[in-house]
Chains A and B, each alone.
Chain A
């Protein structure tokens, strides 16, 4: 099956620093990846759609200058949380879209837990 990895799985940083999270599709190519965040005991909220070779599309209310997304290859998308603050602490999950026409589905990474002190 399709496997998506994320790195790091855990990160603790000081307020004001930037943190980069990588999302890789290991055994397939993904022209489209998605980034979600999840607060404790809440649902997943779609942050942005990452398209290979073009700018990401952000959901309403998500600051694009705060959450920089780069999808430089068909197997890698990165999310950079710039000038992180404690309110950015969350569980960040990426997914990659794959499958034939009409059968597309998303494969989810294991998530990255960010704690900003």
Chain B
């Protein structure tokens, strides 16, 4: 059974601080996606990681993928209040194009 776990589940941090969200998955996959969800809204695509060693950055967020360790990270640099949201990783169940979503990390950035 494919499991996708995120750590931490909840994160409260001060503005200006750095932090990393971890996404572990239990089976082979070369594709991993990060999404942001605001309350009451659908998903906003953040990053698409399609190979081992992939690193992508957008603004204060940077995502990386290590397929050998079955681990992806979402690093937040100098957090600002606008980053408060729930972040999900999703793993492409190899060969099926089905996404299995992680447990989600609810981030709150305190001013």
Which residues of A are in contact with B by a Cβ distance under 8 Å?
32, 34, 36, 41-46, 49, 93, 95, 97, 102-111, 113
Contacts and interface: CB of A to CB of B under 8 A. Distances in A.
User: What 9 A-B pairs are tightest by C-beta distance, nearest first?
Assistant: A111-B42, A108-B43, A44-B101, A110-B42, A43-B101, A43-B104, A108-B42, A43-B103, A93-B42
Contacts of A104: 97
A49 B96 CA distance: 10
A44 B98 contact: no
Interface in B30-53: 33, 35, 40-43, 45, 48, 50
Interface residues of B, number: 20
Interface SS, A side? strand
Nearest to A111: B42
A28 B101 CA distance: 24
Contacts of B48: 105
23 contacts: A34-B98, A34-B99, A41-B106, A43-B88, A43-B101, A43-B102, A43-B103, A44-B88, A44-B101, A46-B98, A46-B101, A95-B99, A97-B97, A102-B50, A103-B50, A105-B33, A105-B45, A106-B33, A107-B45, A108-B35, A108-B42, A108-B45, A111-B41
